[in-house]
Amino acid sequence: MVSKDNLLEELKDLEETLELTGVFDEQAMVRKTFRVPVNEQTPVTFLINGVPFRVVNISEGGVGFVADSGDVAEVGQVLEGLELHFGGRSFQAQGIVRHVTPLEDSGFLYGLSLEMCSEDDRAFMMDFVQKLRERFFEQH
């Protein structure tokens, strides 16, 4: 049986090599972190210029959210006016749209890489996501 620490270490190695293809035409994007699924037990609020969107996953450096429309933003676009609310704190950030993926049923999944406005916010987000990741692997 693999210990939790060994599993987390293996996951970190996997995260560094996880590759998504077809993101920017013929280019490839390498995701550096594992995104933790967000559900009702993990309330995360995400707004773009005051408009709320449903978060489906989060990592130390990014967020995935769902929108009804595929025209919220374009791949490569820099988004400002981003707000994240979780863990009893609120954050301001800017992000770069990394992918826009149509979903089978309806809607679109957007992937953003985030740049937090302060080092303190970034450190809090890293700690928050690490705790979510540990809880996620304890349940699975």
pLDDT of residue 52: 94
Categorize the per-residue pLDDT at 37 as very low, low, confident or very high, splitting at 50, 70 and 90.
confident
Tens-digit pLDDT profile for residues 88-127: 888 889 999 999 999 998 899 999 999 888 888 888 888 8
Q: What is the rounded radius of gyration, in angstroms, for the C-alpha atoms of the chain?
A: 15
Categorize the per-residue pLDDT at 137 as very low, low, confident or very high, splitting at 50, 70 and 90.
confident
DSSP letter assigned to residue 75: T
Categorize the per-residue pLDDT at 135 as very low, low, confident or very high, splitting at 50, 70 and 90.
confident
Spans of all domains in the chain: 4-139
pLDDT of residue 65: 96
Rounded Cα gap, residues 112 and 91, in angstroms: 15
Rounded Cα gap, residues 24 and 98, in angstroms: 8
pLDDT of residue 20: 36
pLDDT of residue 35: 76
- Provide the token pair at 118: 């302060």
Options 3.40.50.620, 2.40.10.220, 3.50.50.60, 2.60.120.260; CATH of 4-139: 2.40.10.220
- Virtual CA dihedral for 105, 24, 81, 135, nearest 10 degrees? 60
List the beta strands (DSSP E) in 12-107. Answer: 19-24, 27-30, 36-37, 45-48, 51-59, 62-67, 78-86, 89-102
- Identify whether the C-beta of residue 40 lies closer than 8 Å to the C-beta of residue 110: no
Tens-digit pLDDT profile for residues 40-98: 777 789 999 999 999 999 988 899 999 999 999 999 999 999 999 987 888 889 999 99
